[in-house]
Structure 1
Amino acid sequence: KIPKWVHLSAYVSSMSCANNIQIIPENDQNPPTNIEFEAKIQFLKNKLQPDSLIRVLDSTSDLNSSLKLFKWASLQKRFRHSADTYYKIILKMGMAGNVEEVEGFSNELVKERCPGAEEAFVALLNSFVQHRRLNEALRVLVTMNSGGYKPSIAVFNVLLGALVEEKSEFQSVLFVYKEMVKAGIVPTIETLNYLLEALFEAGRVDTALDQYRRMNKKGCAPNGRTFEILISGLIARNRVDESIVVLGEMFELGGELDSSFYTSVIPLFCRANKLEEGIKLFQMMRASKIV
């Protein structure tokens, strides 16, 4: 079933789906015998419900057998897949790296309009991100967005954060950001900070600075993490004078800074031989009673 921790704090008819399932090349050293497979079919014949199918899928490690069981259930006249059964098969395919099956079954779930589909998509995104199956998470997000299920900003931020942490290609980060814009979702400062990190990682420093200057137009005010990204990125690229300008803007803006900012930025200014800035920040840190 879809786990109850789905909330992010801190994506054809059943018959046509079954007919289009691609069989995966066998890679299990101990694939189930026909007897084992038939026993599972017999069990389901006596009690074919979403919950019983999910239990059988859980007990089936072989992917081909899982697909065949899902297909068989799809062909039964009195059975309809639920959001939970789709969640289970998509999760199994995704964890095994079968991106095409993830996309196919996700599209199926959209077309079926099963109750609980949105929660299933969010749970899948969360699971794929947690296990760093980011290509699979991207497929789910696109399907969810194009299918009319509007992901929350939390969903986008979780995926953006994972992409940045894994140092994925900038195009992947930009793609997710554009999907967010397409969905009409307003970014938060967390969203824009991830975008800044990705821009610096891609060497697009001037574009990052331009994004920083336009934050207010997007309804966001830079925070300590914003300035940590900017100052660290500028100094790392020998643009120390510009980092001091940004530091001055930070002083004018005010706001609270955390220990992460101080421990990251103070040594950078000292190594860049900008002791005045380093000492001033150290005094601010002492005054804030962080140390």
Structure 2
Amino acid sequence: MLFSRAARRLLRNSNDQLPVSPFRRLKTLPSASSLGESPLQTRKKDDYFAVVQHVSNIVRHDYYLERTLNKMRVSLTSDLVYRVLRACSRSGTESLRFFNWACTCQPASYAPTSVEYEEIVKILAQTKKYESMWKIIHQMRSQHLGLSPSTACFVIEEFGKHGLIDQAVEIFNKLKHFDCKQNVDTHNSLLFALCEVKMFHGAYALIRRMIRKGEAPDKRTFAILVNGWCSAGKMREAQEFLEEMSRKGFNPPVRGRDLLIEGLLNAGYLESAKGMVRKMTKEGFVPDVGTFNSLMEAIVKSGELDFGLSLYHSVCKLGLCPDIVTYKLLIPAVSKAGMIDEAFRLLHRSIEDGHKPFPSLYAPIIKGMFRMGQFDDAFSFFSEMKLKGHPPNRPVYTMLITMCGRGGRYVEAANYLAEMTEFGFTPISRCFDMVTDGLRSCGKHDLAEKMMQLEVSLQ
């Protein structure tokens, strides 16, 4: 793996510490231009993530990972260890070896926090390393670190997925010993585990226990049990349960029919769910927008796009207000099917509803026009999006360049290649190769040479 000089210096110098705290809770990092970052800050950040990736590759693939990591002399921080663990979440044994190495190699400068402890607990639960998982949990307790409800829920549900209901009940009962409160979320996780093994009587008893303890069931409580009954083909029991809870004054946050529709969808009974929605619309009722989105996602996957569009128009006439998720489902689907006019209608409807177009919303339309040979229309629409303040991202530019290359429009591809670098996006090497080869083949040798110089300057 190739590194920049700054990245190699970071690995060699054990005294360098990167200011990682500003990025700790970000799921995705915005571009440097949007943050006003200097090129030096951007390069430093890129070097840091290059180190994370390199260490992750060593943990996953190096048999003597401890020896290799010792030679690197990498400076450990809480953020670095957490990111490496998250990148190696499918490798339970290797992740544990790395975590143990991190805890012992630099004890004077690094001490694990609850964030790293809980991440390794999740990894070990997910990879069925239960004995090691319990050791880590007890180690947390000895360090006076409590178990968060979210991690407890994850472990309980993992036990349920693998049919280990006794272990799920055990950790649920022991939560108070790990400074973790039994709240609605943990009850829901145990309820999920019980439904996974078809213990519906125990699940219903757990709900009654929740009510006695003063924990009011939420939407997920109802949804879990309804989904479980529907997956077992027990529609009548699901309906009776909802009616009984309603009589007791515990109405779900959404209507019972919406929960039943979602339960049928989760159980794979698409036709039954469609039939229930048809019946609702004939009676003048509309489903909850979340339920409608779940149904639309299943319809799109099944290829019944015409039915989905017909249903969309029907429920909109009855008063349903689609959200951005609705449009993220429908616009790519109709664009891929070549229904460009319908895609534009949906995009304009989303704008009228107050949603700002973003790349993953308008890029499928551009790609659909390319597939139909409408290159000039696609270029014009792309320019229009930029003029209206909807800037593209790196994947959109990559798609544009790729589609231009496939259509033999190498000059336009070269222009977009240069344009994306001006916006601070680094093109992938495949784009450079395709554009330069295409320009040479059509006699544009000077422009091909400029593209090669641009690639060299970026490197």
Q: TM-score, normalised by structure 2?
A: 0.39
Q: Does residue 256 of the first structure (1) align with residue 425 of the second (2)? A: yes
Query: Is the 8 Å Cα contact of residues 106 and 140 (structure 1) preserved in structure 2?
Result: no
Residues 266-277 of structure 1: pairs in structure 2 closer than 5 A: 266-273=433-440, 274-277=444-447
Equivalents in 2 of 1:102, 1:140: separation in Å? Answer: 12
Name the counterpart of 1:18: none
Question: Which AA in structure 2 matches 1:202?
Answer: M
Name the counterpart of 2:322: 150
Q: Does residue 85 of the first structure (1) align with residue 257 of the second (2)? A: no
Deviations 1:158-214 (A, max 9, x none): 4434555xx322345345434424533221122222211111112222211110221
Residues 168-187 of structure 1: pairs in structure 2 closer than 5 A: 168-171=337-340, 173-187=343-357
Question: Which AA in structure 1 matches 2:339?
Answer: F
Match of 2:392 among 222, 234, 242: 222
Deviations 1:32-56 (A, max 9, x none): xxxxxxxxxxx9xxxxxx7766544
Query: Is the 8 Å Cα contact of residues 231 and 243 (structure 1) preserved in structure 2?
Result: yes
Equivalents in 2 of 1:133, 1:212: separation in Å? Answer: 28
Q: Does residue 58 of the first structure (1) align with residue 228 of the second (2)? A: no
Equivalents in 2 of 1:134, 1:234: separation in Å? Answer: 30
Match of 1:121 among 267, 280, 292: 292
Equivalents in 1 of 2:401, 2:347: separation in Å? Answer: 23
Question: Which AA in structure 2 matches 1:257?
Answer: T
Equivalents in 1 of 2:405, 2:228: separation in Å? Answer: 55
Equivalents in 1 of 2:303, 2:267: separation in Å? Answer: 12
Q: Does residue 210 of the first structure (1) align with residue 380 of the second (2)? A: yes
Closer/same/farther in 2, CA of residues 240 and 281 from structure 1, 3 Å limit: closer
Name the counterpart of 1:101: 275
- Identical residues among aligned pairs (%): 14
C-alpha RMSD of the superposition: 4.6
Closer/same/farther in 2, CA of residues 155 and 269 from structure 1, 3 Å limit: farther
For structure 1, the 5+ residue unaligned runs are 1-8, 11-42, 44-49
Query: Is the 8 Å Cα contact of residues 196 and 229 (structure 1) preserved in structure 2?
Result: no
Q: What is the aligned length?
A: 228
Q: TM-score, normalised by structure 1?
A: 0.56
Equivalents in 2 of 1:278, 1:266: separation in Å? Answer: 10
Question: Which AA in structure 1 matches 2:260?
Answer: T
Query: Is the 8 Å Cα contact of residues 189 and 221 (structure 1) preserved in structure 2?
Result: yes
Equivalents in 1 of 2:446, 2:315: separation in Å? Answer: 51
Closer/same/farther in 2, CA of residues 58 and 247 from structure 1, 3 Å limit: closer
Per-residue deviation, 1:278 = 4.5
Question: Which AA in structure 1 matches 2:231?
Answer: D
Equivalents in 2 of 1:206, 1:99: separation in Å? Answer: 42
Query: Is the 8 Å Cα contact of residues 144 and 150 (structure 1) preserved in structure 2?
Result: no
Question: Higher relative contact order at CA 8 Å, sep ≥6: structure 1 or structure 2?
Answer: 1
Question: Which AA in structure 2 matches 1:59?
Answer: A
Query: Is the 8 Å Cα contact of residues 200 and 208 (structure 1) preserved in structure 2?
Result: yes
Deviations 1:213-234 (A, max 9, x none): 2113432123333333333333
For structure 2, the 5+ residue unaligned runs are 1-26, 29-200, 202-221, 248-254
SS at match of 1:214: helix
Query: Is the 8 Å Cα contact of residues 398 and 431 (structure 2) preserved in structure 1?
Result: yes
Name the counterpart of 1:47: none
Query: Is the 8 Å Cα contact of residues 170 and 199 (structure 1) preserved in structure 2?
Result: no
Equivalents in 1 of 2:310, 2:267: separation in Å? Answer: 15
Closer/same/farther in 2, CA of residues 56 and 157 from structure 1, 3 Å limit: closer
